[in-house]
Structure 1
């Protein structure tokens, strides 16, 4: 489970430079009291900024995060943006520029706020080694190690990184379950024991050099992940029995990318991007209840090849243009099998080969008519041809116009209003094209569906940000989505009349979001170095259920999520400490015969970091000190939910084990 840690900014040694044409600069001295180790930790302390690492989609344009480095986006997709930032030592950062709403010459990448990490020129060899241990209350231990190095020789720059370690899935634990049937069978009570563990390693490298009058930056990444999940469902009544589920997957990825930029004259520049990704994914999922067994197997290979060219023209400090195009070829080969009691079953879309050829042309413009107003706009045209062979034979071509206009108004020196209207077109997830399984909690097998259309939305957004006390900010935003071709769940029939759940386009819908973000320093009231930071998002959604034809919310969408962090910097003691609170949330999944609700309870995560020397950081965390609870409610019908049959109901209550984490990091150079 992905956990977003909110590590807030504390007292400042210097104030940020005043905003100039939508850009606020934070020099290295702004972060001196916190002694951050890298660019990611510096961004954690920038008021009003929340890191967005981008989307896991095909193509390059739509996968962008909200951080650029030296004015350019990293030519990588599989290398996590936060990890890239963690490999930039704080000693190498000259300043961080926050661009709100847009600025001439800056590609906002579809975001309303982005950060530009500007590195210092020159510098010798720097790097770090770090070791960490995570220990759980149930006796498991996970060790990890990381090594990184960066350097320069003349105008050339390089960096290398390697990580290897074990991870513990904090969404599982021990608990109990109760299963009630509507057909008169006795109630089942059981104990639950769940574990999920990950083995992971990855190597990364980049090299930057002058080339043909410009600058070329090459990056490479290789990684391997092995994950194992086990569940024992020990039935206590009405008679002792055991249901076992286990799942294992093995994933390999490799990526090679290059970014080339060159100034043609004082106003014009070109940017070229090339990228290639290859990946394999194998999974084996098993379920056993006495003599009854089910086994699902999947083998998948994917490739992606991207070429991109952009021409940039900056007329002056008030007006700039960009134009260009991108072409991507994605291929997937997938083979899946389902065995029930050892007998091979017919499974829709079991063996498929999918190819997508996708092109996009775009023009962008940023205009500042007067100093208080900025207009950032773009028009993109996307076309894609998707073909499928194997069990599903089809070919279709899709075309979409994607306009966007964002307007920013600096009403007062510290007050900014932002407005956005955009047509968003989601990308089809190749995972939806192929079958998958989830035997634990009764999920069963999900069929694939290569004949999906991407979800589309007209989005209107309004936001206001108020900055105060030098390093404080409050942001409120409202977004409304008019949705088309919503991707959710629906039934499909197998060759022998079997019914399977699968991804489906279920029609139109709406979604609304109200978000509040705040960063409040307490220096002005005498509590130097103390800062409260948090965010909360409320969502509403509505679609028509394809089974019952009734209105309901969109599957997987969390109606409410929030988190908050309180931190204290003690520079004289060389200590940073704090506590993060992650709010409980709910997710609901609708299938043709099942409604599953998952509720995660609020949990608390304290930490303390001590820096006995500038080059040594020792950090201790209690990631789940309160013991996170997870309640899963599965309502299962004997057939489609609209057929009138009484459902069975199962409640599962699991408490994740408490954890203790310690890390020692040694930096060198710089």
Structure 2
């Protein structure tokens, strides 16, 4: 590590980095010229030391933020993720992208240690694109998709429209085999597996921005529909031929309307108002059949969310700024679930419920730069929520949480920064956990709902060091420690007739640690012009007490190790970019009261080539899953709770997703 540090320091001394001022590094449009990007998303993905975070899918506005803002503001949208918004901004409309590390006065870091601020050019006229893509799999399926987008101006007003429609292929499933072994002397079962998942969806988006009452108002809307179907045939070969078939279909509709209004009150003070309304419906039908036995699960769910938010910002000078404000959100859920086993209706805990949450949050934030090399970004938030439920579960409870945060950045050298963070994080309760759900494939069965959950809390300590070098290179090492309380995992619940179901539950305290390494290495300095290697690896450790066995184990669904790498080569003289992305194999383990399921994915390799025969025409070729990604599921099933002592059955399922070939043609205009 010492030798590597010395080499990096020497390289950094030889080549000037992009301009940096007090923790802000600016990347002008010219920085990306050799890469020939089509939109802001492609530009952001090439920034050294930056990894796009689209935000969290939670209720409320404050906690759902990603790590990108546009013209200093966060978009007033939650369902339209930031990557999709960036794809709709043509590269020709970008003046520069500022990377803020550790904080800067006047910038809301949104709880992140590093954010990107995409600065657009004024003017530009009418621009847009049309695109068509086709994905073809080795097993004969074809998926088509089309996209159209446009942006323009009407005097001081601007507008954006977008539409997408297409079919998607779930690359997590394929054909394979299975072996099921019993501990009670029954003969071993062998089977062929055939799994297939397909998606149909469309979405339309629109925004309109206009001067209003001395400020600027931006209205955005989004509507979408999604249909997904999964089928699995478990064809038993021995000892007796048979068939176990399962399928799942869901239909989801979403609509959102958001308004963002900002106004400068004087040279130092500004206000920001946000209003947001979401409505959605979600219908599920799951079926399982094995000979004469069958199970049917049905779910109808409707949700609404209404958010109001106000922020007052004050920038004292280039070294100190404050902001304060609050938000109020009302969320409602109506859910009706039904389970039929061999035609007989079964009682489900929390199967039919109406849940309402009224949630408020007040906050103050400050960014202070006492001297040029140091930045302190801090906030204090107070959250209160009242959750009430009626139907199968009748309850009402009120929760209160203080959420302090302080982040310190120290520019040790011009291209070396140390960052420290201490924060109390409070998770958002997931409405999906409040209601019943199903997963008949892999023996998952039915999961009961649990509206009586507390959000998971954590004290988080983080330390990171980032070294930039060779102009556009960077290396980041970060360590995070989490002291967890009220961990949300899985536990058993008993039905009215003594039936046992799995459900989400608070299982007590725990710990989690993460060690992350991110690197962006350009090879121009060693003669390989246009070659860039980017990668990230994260190692995780976790520890909780299992509610069924009382023994220590890792947290469900947490990947102990994950990595990804991308090698690209830009050839502007040929108008070609090509490369390969690799996503490392990983493991996830799910703990239920009677089942332990472990899923292992092998490495996923994805080569691509993009050719621009004309500046306004982009043709992209991809070979997703060129190595035929494999998935192994190991399911250990107990006859009752795992601590009851009954011998388990074990099932191994090995499948390989089909190889794919993808081509996209994109035509831009204007700009």
TM-score (norm 1): 0.98
Partner of 1:64: 65
After superposition, the C-alpha distances for 1:398-418 in whole angstroms (9 at most, x for unaligned) are: 000000000000000100000
The alignment status of 1:207 with 2:208, answered yes or no, reads: yes
Q: CA deviation at 1:16?
A: 6.1
Partner of 2:351: 350
Partner of 2:255: 254
CA distance in 1, matches of 2:156, 2:420: 41
CA distance in 2, matches of 1:663, 1:480: 43
Within-5 A mapping of 1:600-611: 600-611=601-612
Partner of 1:568: 569
Partner of 2:625: 624
Q: SS of the residue aligned with 1:515?
A: strand
Partner of 1:137: 138
CA distance in 2, matches of 1:491, 1:389: 22
Partner of 2:552: 551
Q: SS of the residue aligned with 1:500?
A: strand
Partner of 1:83: 84
Cα pair 1:578 1:608 within 8 Å, conserved: yes
CA distance in 2, matches of 1:604, 1:431: 32
Q: CA deviation at 1:31?
A: 0.5
Partner of 1:586: 587
The alignment status of 1:313 with 2:314, answered yes or no, reads: yes
After superposition, the C-alpha distances for 1:288-339 in whole angstroms (9 at most, x for unaligned) are: 0011000000000000000000000000000000000000000000000000
Q: SS of the residue aligned with 1:32?
A: helix
After superposition, the C-alpha distances for 1:122-164 in whole angstroms (9 at most, x for unaligned) are: 1110000000000000000000000000001111010000000
After superposition, the C-alpha distances for 1:234-290 in whole angstroms (9 at most, x for unaligned) are: 000001100000000000000000000000000000000000000000000000001
Q: SS of the residue aligned with 1:501?
A: strand
CA distance in 2, matches of 1:178, 1:217: 57
Partner of 2:154: 153
Cα pair 1:15 1:26 within 8 Å, conserved: no
CA distance in 2, matches of 1:503, 1:30: 48
Cα pair 1:375 1:407 within 8 Å, conserved: yes
Partner of 1:163: 164
- Paired residues in the alignment total 657
Cα pair 1:594 1:636 within 8 Å, conserved: yes
Cα pair 1:15 1:471 within 8 Å, conserved: no
CA distance in 1, matches of 2:656, 2:391: 43
Cα pair 1:522 1:531 within 8 Å, conserved: yes
Cα root mean square deviation, aligned: 0.7
Q: CA deviation at 1:17?
A: 3.9
Cα pair 1:16 1:30 within 8 Å, conserved: no
Q: SS of the residue aligned with 1:37?
A: coil
Within-5 A mapping of 1:481-496: 481-496=482-497
Cα pair 1:15 1:30 within 8 Å, conserved: no
The alignment status of 1:383 with 2:384, answered yes or no, reads: yes
Within-5 A mapping of 1:356-367: 356-367=357-368
Q: CA deviation at 1:667?
A: 0.2
CA distance in 2, matches of 1:271, 1:336: 41
Partner of 2:199: 198
Partner of 2:661: 660
CA distance in 1, matches of 2:88, 2:630: 34
Cα pair 2:260 2:273 within 8 Å, conserved: yes
Partner of 1:458: 459
CA distance in 2, matches of 1:340, 1:16: 66
Cα pair 2:363 2:381 within 8 Å, conserved: yes
Cα pair 1:16 1:27 within 8 Å, conserved: no
The alignment status of 1:238 with 2:239, answered yes or no, reads: yes
CA distance in 2, matches of 1:486, 1:530: 44
Cα pair 2:17 2:470 within 8 Å, conserved: no
CA distance in 1, matches of 2:559, 2:86: 29
Cα pair 2:17 2:415 within 8 Å, conserved: no
Q: SS of the residue aligned with 1:320?
A: strand
CA distance in 1, matches of 2:550, 2:25: 50
Q: CA deviation at 1:438?
A: 0.2
Partner of 1:409: 410
Within-5 A mapping of 1:429-578: 429-578=430-579
Q: SS of the residue aligned with 2:301?
A: strand
CA distance in 1, matches of 2:538, 2:186: 43
CA distance in 1, matches of 2:639, 2:294: 20
Cα pair 1:346 1:494 within 8 Å, conserved: yes
Q: Which structure 1 residue ranges, 5 or more long, are not aligned?
A: 1-13
CA distance in 2, matches of 1:609, 1:380: 46
Q: CA deviation at 1:574?
A: 0.3
After superposition, the C-alpha distances for 1:22-54 in whole angstroms (9 at most, x for unaligned) are: 111000000111110000000111100100000
Partner of 2:644: 643
CA distance in 2, matches of 1:355, 1:103: 38
Within-5 A mapping of 1:283-298: 283-298=284-299
Cα pair 2:520 2:533 within 8 Å, conserved: yes
Q: SS of the residue aligned with 2:266?
A: coil
Partner of 1:422: 423
Cα pair 2:17 2:469 within 8 Å, conserved: no
Q: SS of the residue aligned with 2:19?
A: strand
Q: CA deviation at 1:19?
A: 1.0
After superposition, the C-alpha distances for 1:391-450 in whole angstroms (9 at most, x for unaligned) are: 000000000000000000000010000000000000000000000000000000000000
After superposition, the C-alpha distances for 1:542-564 in whole angstroms (9 at most, x for unaligned) are: 00000110000000000000011
CA distance in 1, matches of 2:20, 2:569: 27
Cα pair 2:17 2:468 within 8 Å, conserved: no
After superposition, the C-alpha distances for 1:67-118 in whole angstroms (9 at most, x for unaligned) are: 0000000000000110000000000000000000000000000000000000
Cα pair 1:180 1:649 within 8 Å, conserved: yes
CA distance in 1, matches of 2:604, 2:176: 17
- Deviant stretches of 4+, over 3 Å: 14-17
Q: CA deviation at 1:15?
A: 7.5
